[in-house]
Amino acid sequence: MSRSPVASARLTSSVPLLAPRPPLFLALIAHLLLLGYALFVFTRGFLLSRIALPDVSSCSNSPVPGSWPSPPSSQSSSAPVGCWSSRPPPYKHALILLVDALRFDFTLYDPSLSEPIPPYRNKLPIMQHLLDTQPRRALRYQFLADPPTTTLQRLKALSTGTLPTFIDAGSNFGGSSILEDSWLTQAALANRSASFVGDDTWLSLFPDVFRLSHPYPSLNVWDLHTVDEGVLAHLPSMMESKEDTILLGHFLGVDHCGHRHGPSHPAMAAKLKQMNTVLTDILASIDNDTIVFIFGDHGMDGKGDHGGDSRSELEAALFIYSGRDLDERGEEFDHLLRDMDQQRSHRSVAQVDLVPTLAMALGLPIPFGSLGSIIPEI
């Protein structure tokens, strides 16, 4: 039975006309493109990256015009001359002891403190003892880190004198070899050997630099002793051999104790007491040609964590000891340095200052990208 034209028209007019809709996948693609653009802007803005410079410093290219101060006339003209200086290198050997997560207040000693005191206080008396009994051979500083306070990024800064970016913190557990100039690179170029024992992160950063290496795995934060015992097993014989210009030992127990228990735990007191015994024995054996740098790469917060920019994470400790007087320039220079920090109870230096200081102490060129300043007492 056929419909009339009028009925067909009424049926058609009763059905609403729908506007055409774009396919769902087009909307999804537009959303993903917008998200990708936002991530691109974010990574190029907040998550800054930097380019590693391939340039390497050399003794033939002085950073300043002219020559550096001449040695006193009483000094032999046949003495070996350091790089960028007409003076001989102050030291033949450098012993570098990195106590991971050595926060500045861990090194303070004050017997007048009344009980109860935190477990981490007054456990490293050897430093204060040397500051009191040999003030011209020992120095202590607040050693200020730049965030992020993760170990890998701190090691890069401490070896090259450059600053990591925030995005670098994501690679804390997967370090690649350092291609930038560093004091280890400069030692190798000058045919001055370096050896290492401790945290295996150093081998991932400098796989071909060390004459002798004894690496120990570093990622088991529940293990407070394996790395430290490895350092203690090898370091004495490495020191006795005198074969290396640079000898590096990296202790991990304090850092792992913080991650496992936090700083306010009896285990931290025991670990710091162990470090005090170790440092006492080591420092008693230092000769006149050796300078010792003992420092933390970062601190830790109240829970034992690090990686951020809180004061407790940024304030590490640096202790320097020499077998002979560090400064032979007299009381006037000491007075000047006291005036520089008269508002502070302790002098502070940036961690990147270690790089040029160590280089000049050994008569090596300062690494090309170094942003630090020479610690004037050295």
Domain ranges of the chain: 93-165+180-326+334-361
pLDDT digits (tens, 9 = 90+) for 176-219: 789 899 999 999 999 999 999 999 999 999 999 999 999 999 99
Element spanning 320, H or E: strand 315-322
Greater confidence (237 vs 346) lies with 237
pLDDT digits (tens, 9 = 90+) for 316-358: 999 999 999 986 555 555 555 555 555 456 899 999 999 999 9
pLDDT digits (tens, 9 = 90+) for 245-292: 999 999 999 999 999 999 999 999 999 999 999 999 999 999 999 999
- State the pLDDT at residue 192: 96
Query: β-strands 138-144, 315-322: how paired?
Result: antiparallel
Burial of 270 (0-12, 13-18, 19+ CB in 10 A): middle
pLDDT digits (tens, 9 = 90+) for 27-71: 788 888 898 888 877 766 655 566 777 889 998 887 766 545 444
Task: List the alpha helices (DSSP H) in 103-175.
Answer: 125-133, 151-160
Do residues 150 and 356 lie in contact, with contact meaning Cβ atoms separated by under 8 Å?
no
Query: How much of the chain is helix, strand and coil, in % rounded to 5?
Result: 35, 15, 50
Q: Please name which of 174, 344, 151 lies closest in space to residue 254, comparing C-alpha atoms.
A: 151
Torsion of CA 221, 223, 224, 227, to 10 degrees: -100
pLDDT digits (tens, 9 = 90+) for 143-174: 999 999 999 999 999 999 998 765 554 444 55
The CATH number that domain 93-165+180-326+334-361 falls under is 3.40.720.10
Element spanning 214, H or E: strand 212-216
- State the pLDDT at residue 19: 56
